[in-house]
């Protein structure tokens, strides 16, 4: 019996379970609502895992073309790998959306702060003009 397809299937199952469970288990961000460097590192690791899953799908397709994997084993393993890649892509897109929102929030706060700094100066000028007018 050829163990390669069995090992590939088991590996795909383990990777899928870990990939689905990991985001549910780990903590989400810091207390102040900003993205931590750990979250950015997680995003990088998820992108690497996505690329590895996509590469594994291509490798599996090549193995089928070479006749090293049966069509049934290919189909089962490919479904698991595609699910893994899809889950990673959804998680990456969700995190990128959260980061985009965080960036917009910080930019908005800085704009408000800059406007607040501009307004006292203009109100001081109008106070000075009002005092100098007889």
Instruction: Calculate mean pLDDT across residues 103-121.
Output: 83
Rounded Cα–Cα distance for residues 2 and 14 (Å): 20
Please report which confidence band the pLDDT of residue 37 belongs to, taking 50, 70 and 90 as the band edges. low
Domain count of the fold of the chain = 1
In a domain, 76, yes or no: yes
In a domain, 123, yes or no: no
Domain hosting 53: range is 4-98
pLDDT at 128: 53
In a domain, 83, yes or no: yes
Please tell me whether the overall predicted TM-score, pTM, comes out greater than 0.85 for this model.
no
In a domain, 26, yes or no: yes
How much is the mean pLDDT over the chain?
78
42: pLDDT strictly greater than 80? yes
pLDDT at 98: 85
In a domain, 10, yes or no: yes
């Amino acid at each position: 019996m050829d163990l390669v397809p069995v090992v590939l299937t088991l590996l795909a199952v383990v990777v899928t379970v870990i990939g689905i469970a990991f985001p549910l288990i780990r903590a989400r961000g810091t207390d102040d609502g900003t993205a931590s460097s750990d979250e950015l590192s997680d995003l990088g690791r998820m992108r690497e895992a996505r690329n590895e899953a996509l590469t594994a799908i291509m490798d599996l397709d090549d193995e089928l073309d070479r006749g090293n994997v049966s069509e049934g084993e290919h189909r089962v393993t490919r479904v698991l790998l595609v699910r893994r890649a899809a889950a990673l892509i959804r998680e990456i897109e969700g995190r990128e959306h959260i980061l985009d929102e965080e960036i917009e929030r910080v930019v908005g706060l800085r704009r408000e702060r800059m406007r607040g700094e501009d307004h006292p100066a203009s109100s001081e000028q109008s106070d000075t003009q009002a005092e100098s007018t007889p």
